[in-house]
Amino acid sequence: MLAQSKRDLAIAAIVVFCVSVGLYLDGDCTRTEQYFLGAIAWCFLFGLLQFETPAIRMQVGVAVAVATLCEYSFAPLYHIYTYRFDNVPAYVPPGHGMVYLTAVALARSVLFERYGTHIERVTLVIGACWALWGVTYAERADTGGAVLFLVFCAFFFVGRSPLLYIAAFYITSYLEIVGTYSGTWAWAVHWPSWGQLPQANPPSGIAAGYCFLDTIALFGAPIVMRFITYCGMAFRRQPVPMRVIQAPSARDSR
C-alpha cells in the first residue's frame, strides 16, 4: 500500500521538508534573502508539477492566484495576521501551491482511500478537542478558531471532496504551528473588523480558510481551462478567404 502511494507520499514529505527548513531560515533572514527563498520555492513547485496532469496544474495555478490575492488583503491591509516585515514574503505564493498539491496528493493516495473513514473520524476528534481547548483552558482565548472549525466541519460534511479537506487540515495545521512558533508571522489577538472575536496564534480551525481555497481551485480550474481552450480556438480560427471575382474574358463571352 505504501509502495502504491510512494509518489504521493514523497510529494507530502518534500513539502513538509521545505516548510520546515524554509520557515526556520526565514526566522533569521533579511527581506532580500526572502526573495532567494521565494525563487527556491518556485523551483520546487515547478519540479513537483512536472508529472502532474494539466487539470492538477491548473488547480494549483488557481490556488496560487487566489491565495496571493488573499495574502495581500489579509496581511498588509486587514492585519488579520502579520509577517515579520509587515509584507508578504516571496516564498508565500509558491508555498500555497505546494500546500495545495500536498493536500491533493494525500487525498488521492491509496493510504487515504483505504483508511479514509478512520482518518476522517480521527481528524474531526482532533479538531474538536483543539477548538474546545481554545475556548476553555487556553491561555489565549480562541473563539475565532472555534468558529473556523465549525466552518471546516461544514466543508467536510457538505463539500464534494472531504478527503481533500482532511488532508488540508494536517498540512495547514503543521504549517501554521511551525510558522507561528518560528516567529515568521503572528495572528492578531482579535479578528479585525470581523466581530472582534478573540483568536489564538494560530487559530484552531485555520484549515477552514484553506478549504475555501481548495474549493475555488476545484471549481475554478475547469472554468479557466475552458476559457483558455475557447480563446485558443478563436485565435486559430482563420477567416474564410473571399473568392476573387474576375471579369469574363472575351473568349468566355463568345
Angle at 203 between CA 166 and CA 192, to 5 degrees: 130
Which triple of cell numbers denotes residue 76?
A: 498588509
The predicted structure's pLDDT at residue 230: 84
The predicted structure's pLDDT at residue 210: 94
8 A C-beta contact, residue 106 and residue 112: yes
Which triple of cell numbers denotes residue 35?
A: 526573495
8 A C-beta contact, residue 168 and residue 177: no
Q: Which regions of the chain are under pLDDT 50?
A: 240, 242, 244-254
Give me the residue spans of the domains in the chain: 6-227
* Model pTM score: 0.89
The predicted structure's pLDDT at residue 5: 78
Inter-residue long-range contacts of 2-7, CB under 8 Å, 24+ positions, other chains counted: 2/111, 4/110, 5/109, 5/110, 5/111, 7/51, 7/105
Tell me the β-bridge partners of 81: 187
Question: For 5-21, how does the pLDDT look when each residue is reduced to its tens digit (9 = 90+)?
Answer: 789 999 999 999 999 99
Mean pLDDT score of the chain: 90
Burial of 129 (0-12, 13-18, 19+ CB in 10 A): exposed
8 A C-beta contact, residue 233 and residue 177: no
8 A C-beta contact, residue 182 and residue 26: yes
Other beta carbons less than 10 A from residue 115's beta carbon: 13
